[in-house]
């Protein structure tokens, strides 16, 4: 009887995908925050990592409460991930308080990777997620080190006092945000009447990204998803306008397939390209 040797498996080279770090709050309902960020990063083909800055109790009906992590816990997470693994791009979301904004800005200021700042001020349900005293810290500490900042119209007004009432006001809003120091401003115009248009500019070049207005109320997590998709595309090597264009395409598809969940506003579908 001849003894047979086990078949050998051909060796396959394994490459590490680009790594993207999100620094944000946890959403217990899974539609926004850290959870949305990591789902988006997987969909974009990068390796997602997280620093949790706050924990929320929330569902489809709203935010019932949130609790900040101690700044030393946030800094320890940052040092742990960036000191060992590193990141090809970073995205920030809910930071809640001045001390957390300062902690994150101190860590990211000298770090050489694109930074996408989603200046989360209020939830989809209208719940405040940024303490009023933290707004100035966001203006002076974090926005000056951002590659792209992605405010909606309410956040533009919170940061700059500029109120946008029509599409013609988007550039004025972007210029006001750029005065705070980021390299690029992406002003999200989805709350204006008519077809939703987002404006991206660095003060010299200007790009407008239009999309069809979709008849779907299940839009929880759109801001987190867009910012995370931009960070992912930057990590993959896209320039800022290309990254924003591809992120806009992804989030538009996710909104189109947003689904009901619980008794309120459901999430966008991060896995729409796979279903």
Which of 92, 93, 147, 224 is the catalytic position? Answer: 224
User: What is the C-alpha to C-alpha distance for residues 181 and 172, in angstroms, rounded to an integer?
Assistant: 15
Cα gap 123→142, rounded to integer Å: 20
Given the residues 147, 150, 222, 252, the one annotated as active site: 222
Distance set, CA 264 to CA 37, 59, 136 (Å)? 21, 8, 33
Contact 161, 177 (CB under 8 A): no
CA dist 239 to 114, 229, 260, Å? 10, 13, 35
Whether 62 sits among the annotated catalytic residues: the reply is no
Active-site residue 219, yes or no?
yes
DSSP code per residue over 100-147: HHHHHHHHHTT--S-EEE----B-TTS-B-B-GGGHHHIIIIIGGG-S
186 neighbors 156 (Cβ within 8 angstroms):
no
What is the DSSP secondary-structure string of 69-86? PPHHHHHHHHHHHHHHT-
Confirm if 24 and 34 have CB atoms less than 8 A apart: yes
CA–CA distance, 82 with 133 (Å, rounded to integer): 28
Active site (annotated) includes residue 252: no
Among the options 40, 147, 160, 219, which is catalytic? 219
Q: Judge whether 181 counts as a catalytic residue.
A: no
The tokens describing 95, both together, are 């930071």
Catalytic, 19? Answer no
What is the spatial distance between Cα 89 and Cα 234, in angstroms, rounded to a whole number? Answer: 7
Rg (alpha carbons) of the chain, rounded to whole number: 19
126 is catalytic: no
Catalytic residue among 189, 223, 258, 266: 223
Q: Please pick, among 221, 225, 248, 258, the residue that the annotation labels catalytic.
A: 221
* Active-site residue, selected from the candidate residues 188, 201, 225, 266: 188
Which residues are known catalytic residues?
188, 219, 221-224
């Amino acid at each position: 009887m001849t003894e047979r040797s086990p078949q050998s498996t051909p060796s396959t080279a394994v490459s590490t995908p680009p790594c993207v770090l999100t620094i944000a709050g946890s959403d217990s309902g899974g539609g926004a925050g850290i959870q949305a960020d990591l789902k988006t990063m997987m969909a974009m083909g990068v390796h997602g990592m997280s620093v949790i800055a706050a924990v929320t109790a929330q569902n489809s009906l709203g935010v019932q409460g949130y609790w900040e992590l101690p700044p030393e816990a946030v800094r320890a997470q940052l040092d742990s991930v960036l000191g060992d693994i590193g990141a090809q791009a970073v995205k920030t979301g809910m930071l809640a308080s001045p001390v957390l904004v300062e902690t994150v800005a101190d860590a990211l200021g000298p770090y050489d990777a694109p930074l996408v700042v989603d200046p989360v001020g209020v939830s989809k349900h209208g719940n405040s997620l940024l303490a009023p005293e933290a707004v100035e810290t966001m203006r002076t500490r974090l926005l000056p080190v951002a590659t792209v900042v992605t405010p909606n119209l309410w956040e533009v007004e919170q940061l700059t006092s500029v109120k946008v009432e029509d599409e013609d006001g988007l550039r004025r809003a972007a210029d006001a945000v750029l005065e705070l120091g980021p390299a690029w401003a992406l002003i999200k115009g989805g709350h204006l009447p008519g077809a939703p248009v987002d404006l991206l500019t660095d003060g010299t070049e200007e790009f407008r990204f239009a999309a069809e207005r979709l008849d779907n109320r299940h839009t929880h997590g759109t801001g987190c998803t867009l910012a995370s998709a931009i960070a992912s595309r930057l990590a993959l090597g896209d320039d800022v306008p290309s990254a924003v264009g591809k992120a806009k395409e992804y989030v538009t598809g996710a909104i189109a397939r947003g689904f009901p969940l619980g008794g309120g506003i459901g999430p966008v579908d991060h896995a729409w390209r796979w279903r």
